[in-house]
Structure 1
Amino acid sequence: MRIMLVSVTTLPRDPSPSLSPLVRRVVEVDMLRGFALFGILVVNISYMASPYGTFGLPDPDFTRAVDDAARLVGETLFVDKFYLLFAFLFGYSFTFQAERAGASVVRRSLRRYGALFLLGAFHAVVLWRGDILTVYAVLGLVLLAARRARPRTAVKAAVILLAVLVAFYALLAGFSFWAESVGRNTSINVFDDPSQMIAAYRGGPLDVIGENLALLPGMLSGIWFMQAGSAMAMFLFGFAAGQVRLLEDVPRRWLVRAQWLGFTAGLAGSLAVGVTHLVDHSGSGALLALDLTVTTATAPLLAAAYAATLLRISNARPGIARALAPAGRLSASNYLGQSALMALLFTGYGLALFAKASPPLLLGIAAAVFAGQLLLSAWWTRSHRYGPAEWWLRTLTHGR
């Protein structure tokens, strides 16, 4: 549900080792951003296509083993991983903007975040209620205030923030389990009858917008409670990495360590959370708090392992970067395009297939849409410096 909106598009796209470190860094950032677009789509499509995904409940129409397997894949490998990668890249690319903006960094950043907020508000009301852009715009102000922080200070702040979040969620889980043990109800399951939601999203455009507005407060409160803190921590990690140009030449031993840690502790935590979501549908507030504790502690590790793996593979096979980077350059347009296409498929804007697609089919649709975006992005960037959304943001930011 997240997007990194700052693109550097005036430099060559060839990621070969012969290019300068700055050019290679930009290509790698766009490559990672393009890769993250796929993960974002896999997560968002389950929410946009079914009322049950919004509330973490199984769809009674799709109860086969293959349906459960697809859900487990999504929960374990995708959910809560790729927005972290986007947040890291947001912070990383902020250093580019600060350098280019010079003395006007504050004024330009305020305009950029204002434009981002407007874009997010439109996105949330018209297309996808789970928008994160408005949250990013607000968190960007915090990053702007911290722009003079040294890399070490930013890293310490990020670690402390994550530690505080883990401790808070753990205390909340402990209290909730105690409350349940003495007969208190901690259930957060407020979803009883899906028929109204299904009817609204299969209705006309005004019905879709009305349902988005009705669900938006709950979605935003959930994002702020469960994801905003971790996103801010990743902003700071990315900001620190950008200051030292980490992605220009990441030491191989760091990449290997990230893979080992992510694919052991990170994957174990994600699998535990995924299995819990698959087998327990009680809506227990205690289990949710426990899931948040584990996710906050381990999801960043798996996200880092994904990034490290892609960086290592792309070093040996530069064609991967060439395939992914154009989509990353147009990340705002591609993100909004994903939401627009999903709305056309699943709501009354188009085919109105809401609550009609199985989890395996949704994975297939996500893969097909992303493949199409890779091809379209490669074609577009051969003749255009910016995508439509990037152009609009640039115009509001720079006034030209």
Structure 2
Amino acid sequence: MSEPTSPAASAGSTTEARPVAASERVTLLDALRGFALCGVFLSNAITWFSGRAMMSREQAQAQAAPLLEVIVNSVYQTLVNQKFITIFSFLFGLGFSIQMSRAAARGSSVVPLYTRRLFILLCIGAVHLIGIWMGDILHTYAMVGVLLLLFRERSNKTVLLWAVALMVAMSLVLPILQRYVPVLLHGADAAAEMAKASQADEAAHRAQLLTALSSDSWWTGVVGRFHFFVDTFLRMNRIKWMGLILSRFLFGLLAGRLLLLQAVEANRPLLRRMIGWGFGVGGLISLAGLVMSRMRAMGLLTSQDNVWPFLLNNLQEIGFLLLGAGYVGAFALLFQRERWQRAMGALAPVGRMALSQYLLQSIVSVCIYDGWGLGLIGKVPPSRVVAICFVVFAAQIALSHWWLARFRFGPAEWLWRSLTYGRAQPMRLAAGQKAADAAA
């Protein structure tokens, strides 16, 4: 949901801030964003829209018991879960780097325009959060995105150190503190009781949310989402989540400075290393997590009292980052091949209007799953959720091609840009103008 440009963008820059012209865009970034949006949709649907994250463990396990569901869930956990939101966050940080470059080319500061963009994004996210879906990521991106301004003049080394430090702190150090500080302060038995009470409280909130979303009243769902958000916003896991997002933003900022995806051939060795480490180490961590999950589901691992399951569980965040990096490297290098580029380029229009399509996914999904719609929440196993996602996303690809053949922006992008720049942006393409010549 950023504005990717080519290294040559500065050649046509002006002193006035403006939306990015199509000739300045990097199709690879748009296609990669479309690819990431598909994975994010799958994750949101399997975990939240379908109601699975709100069920009790026994309900979720019973629904996923058939062999087909075990296979689908295993593939999802290994290859999809949290990997694509990692790519999406990475691209947000990369987009910030590009915005800084464009501001420097104009001889102006990135701060005023960027803060306006984030404020408008926060407002859009708030409406999405309360009115449509409580899993909104936009408000979080807006809040965490402000912190990127602190790094705009920092060296690449500093950015890298902060990115790594935040990843390690949020994925390992914070969980260790959460686990062992209560033991030191209150004793093992009291800490265990506190942990059980916290888990029971969270399960109760999720059960209440499932009841609200299963209602045939849209307003009941709105109230349920609002209460769930308020009750869970300041929990420690929220802090962890925001820290991890900032880490991913910083990796993206560094990648943008290095022109990782704007100059692929020059960065081919680095991209190959990303593939090796990503699918090697990241894949092993992800597979180990899957084995641990299956053992727990089969009753072979009944608790996390053993330190190794605990550490492996929290190492998953590092695995998400590594495997996400592997996807980015593989996508970028495959995109350099003409045949692959034609196929993968079909995703570029979705990436160009990613904000509109992200919001559309939520609207369509709540109509399908919530009680006032088709009422499938809590009733559809993972395999059917995946099938629904692919059908909806295929329609989104077609819609994106159709829309951008006629308009310069997606509808949400038009609103975002118009409010950011303080004036309505021209929407329709000029007569006979090709979509590829439109601003995005």
TM-score (norm 2): 0.79
Mean CA deviation greater in 78-87 or 240-249 = 240-249
Contact 1:326 1:378 in 2 (8 A): yes
**Which amino acid in 1 is paired with 2:323?**
L
Are positions 1:273 and 2:289 aligned together? yes
Change in 2 beyond 3 A, CA 1:223/1:54: farther
**Which amino acid in 2 is paired with 1:48?**
W
For residue 67 of structure 1, the aligned residue among 59, 69, 72 is 69
* Aligned residue number for residue 45 of structure 2: 45
Contact 1:330 1:386 in 2 (8 A): yes
* Aligned residue number for residue 246 of structure 2: 232
Q: CA deviation at 1:96?
A: 2.4
For residue 312 of structure 1, the aligned residue among 316, 324, 333 is 333
* Aligned residue number for residue 212 of structure 2: 200
Cα deviation, 1:86-121, whole Å, max 9, x if unaligned, reads 111111111222233452421111111111111111
Q: CA deviation at 1:63?
A: 2.1
* Aligned residue number for residue 90 of structure 1: 92
Contact 2:68 2:383 in 1 (8 A): yes
What SS does structure 2 have at the residue aligned with 1:276? Answer: helix
For residue 110 of structure 1, the aligned residue among 115, 130, 138 is 115
Cα deviation, 1:274-317, whole Å, max 9, x if unaligned, reads 34344437786988964552122221110011111111222112
Q: Name the CA distance, whole Å, in 2 between partners of 1:306 and 1:273.
A: 19
Q: Name the CA distance, whole Å, in 2 between partners of 1:142 and 1:330.
A: 25
Contact 1:265 1:301 in 2 (8 A): yes
Change in 2 beyond 3 A, CA 1:258/1:328: same
**Structure with the greater alpha carbon radius of gyration:** 2
Cα deviation, 1:124-167, whole Å, max 9, x if unaligned, reads 11111111211111111110222112323212221222232344
Change in 2 beyond 3 A, CA 1:267/1:399: same
Contact 2:55 2:206 in 1 (8 A): no
Contact 2:95 2:253 in 1 (8 A): yes
Change in 2 beyond 3 A, CA 1:140/1:177: closer
Q: CA deviation at 1:218?
A: 5.0
Contact 1:170 1:289 in 2 (8 A): no
TM-score (norm 1): 0.87
Q: CA deviation at 1:217?
A: 3.2
Give the percent of matched residue pairs that are identical in Structure 1 and Structure 2.
30
Contact 2:282 2:322 in 1 (8 A): yes
**Which amino acid in 1 is paired with 2:228?**
L
Change in 2 beyond 3 A, CA 1:361/1:286: farther
Q: Name the CA distance, whole Å, in 2 between partners of 1:293 and 1:193.
A: 23
**Which amino acid in 2 is paired with 1:378?**
H
Q: Name the CA distance, whole Å, in 2 between partners of 1:234 and 1:264.
A: 20
Q: Name the CA distance, whole Å, in 2 between partners of 1:278 and 1:177.
A: 29
Contact 1:176 1:286 in 2 (8 A): no
Q: Name the CA distance, whole Å, in 2 between partners of 1:56 and 1:242.
A: 42
Alignment of 1:379-398 (within 5 A): 379-398=402-421
Q: Name the CA distance, whole Å, in 2 between partners of 1:64 and 1:158.
A: 41
Change in 2 beyond 3 A, CA 1:333/1:194: closer
Q: Name the CA distance, whole Å, in 2 between partners of 1:249 and 1:376.
A: 30
Long gaps (5+) in structure 2: 6-19, 424-440
Are positions 1:150 and 2:163 aligned together? no
Contact 1:347 1:353 in 2 (8 A): yes
What SS does structure 2 have at the residue aligned with 1:352? Answer: coil
* Aligned residue number for residue 203 of structure 2: 191
* Aligned residue number for residue 252 of structure 1: 268
Contact 2:213 2:221 in 1 (8 A): yes
Q: Name the CA distance, whole Å, in 2 between partners of 1:275 and 1:248.
A: 38
Cα deviation, 1:249-276, whole Å, max 9, x if unaligned, reads 3333222221221112101212222343
Q: Name the CA distance, whole Å, in 1 between partners of 2:207 and 2:153.
A: 52
For residue 321 of structure 2, the aligned residue among 292, 300, 303 is 300
Q: Name the CA distance, whole Å, in 1 between partners of 2:305 and 2:364.
A: 34
Long gaps (5+) in structure 1: 13-21
Contact 2:56 2:203 in 1 (8 A): no
**Which amino acid in 1 is paired with 2:84?**
F
What SS does structure 2 have at the residue aligned with 1:315? Answer: coil
What SS does structure 2 have at the residue aligned with 1:60? Answer: helix
For residue 10 of structure 1, the aligned residue among 21, 32, 46 is 21
Change in 2 beyond 3 A, CA 1:175/1:388: same
Change in 2 beyond 3 A, CA 1:358/1:91: same
Q: CA deviation at 1:325?
A: 0.9
* Aligned residue number for residue 135 of structure 2: 130
Change in 2 beyond 3 A, CA 1:286/1:193: farther
Q: Name the CA distance, whole Å, in 1 between partners of 2:242 and 2:306.
A: 20
**Which amino acid in 2 is paired with 1:314?**
F
What SS does structure 2 have at the residue aligned with 1:325? Answer: helix
For residue 366 of structure 1, the aligned residue among 366, 389, 392 is 389
Q: Name the CA distance, whole Å, in 1 between partners of 2:304 and 2:132.
A: 30
* Aligned residue number for residue 16 of structure 1: none
Root-mean-square deviation (CA, aligned residues, Å) is 2.9
Higher relative contact order (CA 8 A, sep 6+): 1
**Which amino acid in 1 is paired with 2:86?**
L
